[in-house]
Amino acid sequence: MTFSPVRALVFFMIGLPIGFILAALGFVATGQEIAAPALVPWAAGIAAIVGVGAGVWKPAE
């Protein structure tokens, strides 16, 4: 299994704004107040999962 750090970084950067959007939607769905300090850990977690997944994923050749 190989890991591509460049691909992981690129997808982490792409996943960060998507993570903020998904976290905000989750806060709205649960009726919690939306505040940036509360969103950051969730957005970073989503982006990290996307980045690690992209780093280990090997495209079909």
Q: Are 14 and 43 in contact (CB under 8 A)?
A: no
Instruction: Look at the block and give the residue holding tokens 């996943």.
Output: 15
Alpha-carbon gap, residue 22 to 57, rounded angstroms: 22
Residue 46 confidence (pLDDT): 93
Query: Which pLDDT band holds residue 3 (cuts at 50, 70, 90)?
Result: confident
What is the reported pTM?
0.81
Which structure tokens are listed for 38? 């509360």
Domain ranges in the chain are 5-56
pLDDT in tens, 5-55: 899 999 999 999 999 999 999 999 999 998 989 999 999 999 999 999 988
- Is the pLDDT assigned to residue 57 strictly greater than 90? no
Which structure tokens are listed for 5? 């750090």
